Structure 1
């Protein structure tokens, strides 16, 4: 009678333990329960992705009682605000598409879970849940009940230690040991030293070689068998199938040679093959780890924060220079870069960066503030609890909530090639093998193995991610910080550039400001300057820097109306600072210059007038870009600068003024409806909607901690004149990808031609495979660095 396998986990069922439910066989009540849970919650398509993908749930009663302790929970949670909690859990059992699917649908299994995102390479799931409806302990028990028990080590959380997977290093060591010793023992065969091979010694050494090959065949190469098995099981052919098949064919053929005394077999080639393939795998792993390190710790936001010295003076510092116990000044719309304690009386915080929900949360003095929150309202002071984590900020910026749907063309190319490559390769290998069987049987096995190995498209799979990762790193060094590698492809497609005016093509300089109106008293200057202290708008920062040092005044009420201005109140005195529209003023000369008007207690006091200073190199930049791109200026200001801009910029540049934030967004949308690929460059304040709508949104950073979560990149303001360079470099990056695709395909074609003709041994094929990866990586590194310097 045929043995049955568990429908859920796939293990063989002992007849007496078999449990029948819903006409399906299960090995235990745990697997049956998981199936029941999935069926009752309309999640039974979990089993459609892969046959028997689950794990047998373990008995864990009482194991996680420590999660009832609030102090321990606080250490495990990475975000905890009101009822919204976020936790990242390490799930060792994550291994296939079914795992990803079920773990990203936890909200259907557990009330209170809003989102769950899987990081497949790190085997982690990041869960956002409502603590009033469920708890961390309940989540852990749920995960365990469906076969995904998390690994929780308090030591890891308290000391920051990480478990390092060294299995590949161990397998490489075993493969090298076996390969080296088998080569040594094979020397007499190589040199045909007949005197040495007398009677029983030949057989003894051959069986010794066979024994030495077993650790390499069974242990060192095991990852290829497992991957190939899972691939066949899920009916999705991957590139490990021909490799595993090649190794098995070579082992079987060599074993037959020894057993039937045909010769010593090809165990030297077999162990050499495994060693060189693992060496290539290690190289690829180190390459990805290097890029990940560069991304997390070097290509983070080029933002600064205002630090308060002990004497109260304000100094801008880079976020990575923040230390524990520092006192920081955070203005309206600025991001909180670190966890800390609120020192000011009250504030409102928008945690949409973290949770995706823009519902302000009220905080009072002494409350804990989490990194990733955005201040709404008056300026605050806070004390730092921990130094900044760049990788955490990067994670927030790359939150799936803010991701745009991007057409990943190069990925499609890789996927198509990989999808058809394996079945075509297997068919080709079978045909060549059959033909060679009629010509020369021993050579047929060598040809089969060489074809299976040499055609592995490892270099093909490596080319796109490595090229884009390297370009991302180089752009980061050039002070253009992109959210992810996909943005590079979008940059290469751009054909229309839309610029904001104030704070984007103009720069902040004290000499550019003048006050026109009644002389202001010290109290009025104090009120205006302290109101401006909480704003990050470029004009506000100019006025704040222009005004003299004045005593500090506590602002009781503060409101910044996007695109209009500020309304603030202190000691029963109300000040309005902003556009003529906000203050209800009709200015006959308002079209001549950029102005910011002042009203105190409904009495008009005058206005600040700006002689805009354009960024260095802006004229040359626009002349350069006008040859290849459509250029637009989209400004919320009046038309006072229109004549100046028409003189400075190319005649083809379209100038649009008096645009509210929602009008800017509609303008971008209208261009896209015409089939344009639009890049928007703004300051991230009034332009947030337009940045999000555009195909590529770039926020300009000038010593401020402000940017839109939906922007695709942040450019240091000092590099504004290099915008044309970034755009050209992105096009060259895509050209490099296509060139390296061609190079890796050429490698495969040349290698296959030699393998099919029988002129390529399996060992040489194994050496060529990692060499092709090294060549392609070297090529894209050289080319991307060449284009970077060009």
Structure 2
């Protein structure tokens, strides 16, 4: 970098640079930012990218409006006493060093608990202690280090940001220059030299040098503005010791410009400025097409908005009804059971709230709330059932953000992505080698063709089509799966699903359905008070057996329990006044009698006295035999159940012979079972109900939660499948494998195109501008192929 350029932002420091630590700065703002970063051991920021910062602007009084509580509340995403979360749009985010410094804000101010950058959207989500630092101080800190946020209340209300039109501007500049260069090159196209010029044609020949220099001037904005992104990307790639796909493109543009400039300076010819401007124009046109096409596919890409998550809404008559979360409106009264996610901000009306906000904040300490206090979307209720009044409609995008929150994500790396990157790097090295060898060959045999061959090879062999095949194929499959009520977290999950060789199923709530279960009671009759307490205790639980029994019992008056606790894998207990009841396994309730190990039952005890049991007759999902029969042909399958062996004989008749069945499995046992399989090299799919199976779902390569209109949202899962689509599970996996084959076929298509193009380029039969036209066409062909192929796969899913 020029020694007179600002060390922080790279701008020219002029005649009076500000010096510090042998470094020059253009203003006191940049010097202050450098002092802040270096003073907090964050000067590694400049190692990631030199001059990556932005010159901070004067901010005196600019953010005073953030001291207004009503305004701040519109902007704050989460506010629970001492902890607040704000999501800010930062236009200056542009590179890895920006991400690094923003995600290390806690080193600049210890009251900032954490920050997460969304690079594509240029946003940063900041969690901070509001009792120690205000929203205004957070924003001022960002502005002081050169990352001033763009804040508009209108934009926040509408959830829209101003569109980035830079690509359109660059395309317009390149198109304008290309048209004018083509027009001014008219004499050269018709070879109107002095030897054959006559009459009116002579004036064209006379002003030919003027036309050449005008062409040169038109080419400058194309090189310096329209095509600069290719140079920036190539430079960053080389500096990071990575050969990205923009390296050969940037090299081709630079070679064309230098050679053409030398041609007109030394009067060797007219140069190749028409090819240069045409190349950049068609490259940008291809990029614009890719952007538009991806946006077209992305308008339905919010597949998660189809979440089959329901909520229990209490009507004005006091009845409980199931409603989809997107139907919640302001003023609705909602019932939130134990382990359920709060889908919307609201006011606690009834019950004891003990809320886990770790999904939102990463803080695992539950927060207690009293009646009349505000509760926030994303919290999980941990202590029985509560009732709340909704203050707004559901922000579906907020729920999807929780699903992707890195706080509780495990890195399930995608080998295919690594393979794509590896192909891109190797491809670039191969292309550069071919280009240089071809140029050396033609320099020896026909120097006039060397430059054209060199640039044509660099352009025609650009691996853009290879880079596009994966996101378009998998992105379209996500959309198709969403329409089929199969909701996956991201594109990497499709690739993981295509690789599985072992499928593990939970029993209760997964291959059984709670909707058709029946139960008979054996034991001492329950008193009216005990029946009411049992009903209200079960009301707070989301376990499939609890929900089934709750629906089967007679209606009782709803009361608020004094105490409630659910013991995962064991049972539930509740207290009201001096009455205490337990419901669950025989060991949990303290049944000292001999129990029948061949039945599925919920045992009841009241005030430590065993009362009896409800014996369940499980109803298995329609098509469960066919699902297991198909799955067992391609995968190792097994059933892990927390229940006893009561259903073993029935399951052995339903499922294929020799299907492993494991009973009495606690949640930790399931997790360890999957770990053991993975240590043997197995790729495991875990299918569970999303409640007791959270650990196993997170441990497996792919964890699928079955949803049966219950609001058990499990961020540990990689996908959610509507229970009505259980019969199609094998088809979803089959479609994932087919999608991977489509990507491989698109690789072959792209490779065939490149080999044919390279032949014509190397032999000198292809002009650079024609290559630039063909390159986006190859991208179009790959996108069209992947889209048509994935749509065809989707039609074969019932």
Which TM-score bucket, shorter chain as reference? Answer: over 0.9
Give the total of aligned pairs. Answer: 788
| Contact 2:707–2:722 (Cα < 8 Å) also in 1 | yes
The residue that corresponds to 1:200 in the other structure is 203
Question: What TM-score results when the alignment is normalised by the length of structure 2?
Answer: 0.92
Q: Counterparts of 1:774 and 1:661 in 2: how far apart (Å)?
A: 49
Greater alpha carbon shift after TM alignment, 307-316 vs 498-507: 307-316
Within 5 Å, which residues of 2 pair with 1:6-155? Answer: 6-14=6-14, 16-21=16-21, 23-155=22-154
Structure 1 residues 35-68: Cα deviation after superposition (integer angstroms, max 9, x where no partner): 3333333323222222332233333233223333
Equivalent of residue 421 in structure 2, options 415, 419, 442? 415
Q: Which residue of 2 aligns with 1:528?
A: 534
1:521 Cα deviation after fit: 5.0
What CA deviation, in whole Å up to 9, does each residue of 1:706-752 have, x standing for no partner?
03221111111111122222222222222222222232233222212
Task: Select between 442-451 and 760-769 the one with higher mean Cα deviation.
Answer: 442-451
C-alpha distance in 1 between matches for 2:305 and 2:226? 36
Of 240, 245, 264, 2:246 maps to 240
Tell me: CA distance 1:633–1:691, structure 2 relative to 1, closer, same or farther (3 Å): same
1:123: how far off? 1.5
* Partner residue, 2:588: 582
Q: Name the CA distance, whole Å, in 2 between partners of 1:600 and 1:785.
A: 58
Instruction: Work out whether 1:325 is the aligned partner of 2:341.
Output: no
* Distance in 2, Cα, partners of 1:115 & 1:154: 24
**Aligned equivalents of 1:599, 1:234: Cα separation in 2:** 67
Q: In 2, Cα distance between the equivalents of 1:511 and 1:62? A: 65
1:733-752 equivalent positions in 2, closer than 5 A: 733-752=739-758
- The residue aligned with 1:777 is 783
Q: Deviations over 1:491-550 (max 9, x none)?
A: 222222221111111112345222223444554433322222222111111112212333
Q: Is 2:760 aligned against 1:757? A: no
Partner of 1:637: 643
2:697 paired with 1:691 = yes
Moved more, 772-781 or 236-245: 236-245
Instruction: Give yes or no for contact 2:338–2:384 (8 Å, CA) kept in 1.
Output: yes
The answer as to whether partners of 1:297 and 1:391 remain within 8 angstroms in 2 is: no
Contact 2:517 2:548 in 1 (8 A): no
Q: Take 1:150 and 1:331, find their aligned partners in 2: how far apart are those partners?
A: 39
Deviations, residues 544-594 of structure 1 (Å, cap 9, x unaligned): 221233333333322222112221223433222211112100343421211
1:555 is matched with 561
Where do 5+ consecutive residues of structure 2 fail to align?
Answer: none
**Bigger mean CA deviation after superposition, 425-434 or 116-125:** 425-434
Residue 512 of structure 1 aligns to a residue whose secondary structure is strand
Give the 3-state SS of the residue equivalent to 1:550 in structure 2.
Answer: coil
Per-residue deviation at 1:147? 2.4
Deviation at 1:646, TM superposition (A): 2.0
Mapping of residues 667-746 of structure 1, within 5 Å: 667-746=673-752
Residues 188, 196 of structure 1: 8 Å contact kept? no
* Residue 451 to residue 41, structure 1, CA distance change in 2 (3 Å): same
**Change in 2 beyond 3 A, CA 1:648/1:196:** farther
Question: What is the CA-CA distance between 1:169 and the residue it aligns to?
Answer: 2.0
Give 1:334-413 correspondences, 5 Å limit. 334-413=340-419
Distance, in Å, in 2 between the alignment partners of 1:370 and 1:233 is 45
**Partners of 1:383 and 1:570 in 2: CA distance:** 24
Residue 286 (structure 1) aligns with? 292
* Correspondence for 1:651: 657
Q: Which moved more, 1:171-180 or 1:355-364?
A: 171-180
Cα distance in 2, alignment partners of residues 75 and 195 from structure 1: 75
Task: Give the 3 Å change call, closer, same or farther, for CA 197–54 of structure 1 in structure 2.
Answer: farther
RMSD between aligned residues: 2.7
Work out the CA distance in 2 between the residues paired with 1:131 and 1:196.
83
Give the distance between the partners of 1:33 and 1:584, measured in 2 at CA. Answer: 68
Q: Secondary structure at the match of 1:294?
A: coil
State how far apart, in whole Å, the 1-side matches of 2:16 and 2:504 are. Answer: 72
Which secondary structure state, in structure 2, belongs to the residue aligned with residue 767 of structure 1? helix
Is the 8 Å Cα contact of residues 683 and 707 (structure 1) preserved in structure 2? no
By how many angstroms is 1:261 displaced?
6.0
Per the TM alignment, residue 699 of structure 1 is displaced from its structure 2 partner at its CA by 1.0
How far apart are the structure 2 equivalents of 1:146 and 1:196?
A: 67
Partner of residue 495 from structure 2, selected from 486, 489, 492 = 489
- In the superposition, the TM-score normalised over structure 1's length comes to 0.93
Once residues 582 and 283 of structure 1 are traced to their aligned partners in structure 2, the CA distance between those partners, rounded to angstroms, is: 63
Change in Cα spacing, 1:27 to 1:216, as seen in structure 2 (3 Å) is closer
Q: 1:432 and 1:455, CA in 2 relative to 1: closer, same or farther beyond 3 A?
A: same
Equivalent pair of 1:86/1:126 in contact (CA under 8 Å): yes
Change (3 A) 1:295 1:402: farther
Of 365-374 and 765-774, more deviation after overlay is shown by 365-374
1:618 is displaced (CA, Å) by: 0.9
SS of residue paired to 1:459: helix
**CA distance, structure 1, for counterparts of residue 221 and residue 378 of structure 2:** 50
